[in-house]
Chain A
Amino acid sequence: GAVVSQHPSRVICKSGTSVKIECRSLDFQATTMFWYRQFPKQSLMLMATSNEGSKATYEQGVEKDKFLINHASLTLSTLTVTSAHPEDSSFYICSARIEPLDTQYFGPGTRLTVL
């Protein structure tokens, strides 16, 4: 089946720094990728929808200047958490959609800890 990778799998950073998370579709092209965030003991929350070559669509309440999303190619989307704060510590998951199957494949996730 299709594979989606994320890098890094875990990252620890200091407050105020920026962190970039990569999401790659390894054996297919994904025109649409999704970024989710999971708070402790809660379900996943959609943060934004990323379309190749265009600006991401952010969900209500998600700061687009803080969570920068770039979908530069059909196999790569990046999420940059800018000026990270401890409350940004969370588990971030991406998924990639295969057209025209309308199927999403999930990355393994990235655990971000901001000290």
Chain B
Amino acid sequence: KNEVEQSPQNLTAQEGEFITINCSYSVGISALHWLQQHPGGGIVSLFMLSSGKKKHGRLIATINIQEKHSSLHITASHPRDSAVYICAVSPMDSNYQLIWGAGTKLIIKP
């Protein structure tokens, strides 16, 4: 079993829909990252969370440390949101290395 699991693996939705991507992990962490990777490969850091909730524009990220679970939400989705969304965690006992989820490929259709 992977230490970081994302669901779903693939998600196709219509423009305007509310999107939720989930990330569950099995280790103690000091932080959790959400990243976005576009088809060309470029990576954008969306959020770094250690507790609670963060919002940036139409993106919302939440984390529940007790349940070892995080969600990334996209409101009013748009075709330009189409990308791979990756969850990664910083384990507490690591030398700052990350454990990566496999990613969720999101396609928003117009």
On A, residues with C-beta under 8 Å from B are 1, 9, 32, 34, 38, 43-44, 46, 49, 91, 93, 97, 102-109, 111
Contacts and interface: CB of A to CB of B under 8 A. Distances in A.
Contact of A93 (B33, B40, B43): B43
Interface of B: 30-31, 33, 35, 40-45, 48, 86, 88, 90, 95-98, 100-103
A43 B41 contact: no
B3 to A, nearest CB: 12
Main secondary structure of the interface of B (DSSP, over half): strand
B102 A105 contact: no
A49 B43 contact: no
Given A43-B86, A102-B30, A108 B43 contact: yes
Contacts, number: 49
A105 B33 CA distance: 10
Contact of A104 (B41, B44, B96, B101): B96
Given A43-B103, A102-B30, A109 B98 contact: no
Nearest to A110: B41
A11 B103 CA distance: 25
Contacts of A104: 33, 48, 90, 96, 98
A109 B31 contact: no
B43 A46 contact: no
Contact of B97 (A1, A46, A111): A46
Given A44-B100, A46-B97, A107 B43 contact: yes
B68 to A, nearest CB: 18
Contacts of A38: 41
A32 B97 CA distance: 11
A108 B44 contact: yes
Contacts of B96: 32, 34, 49, 97, 102, 104
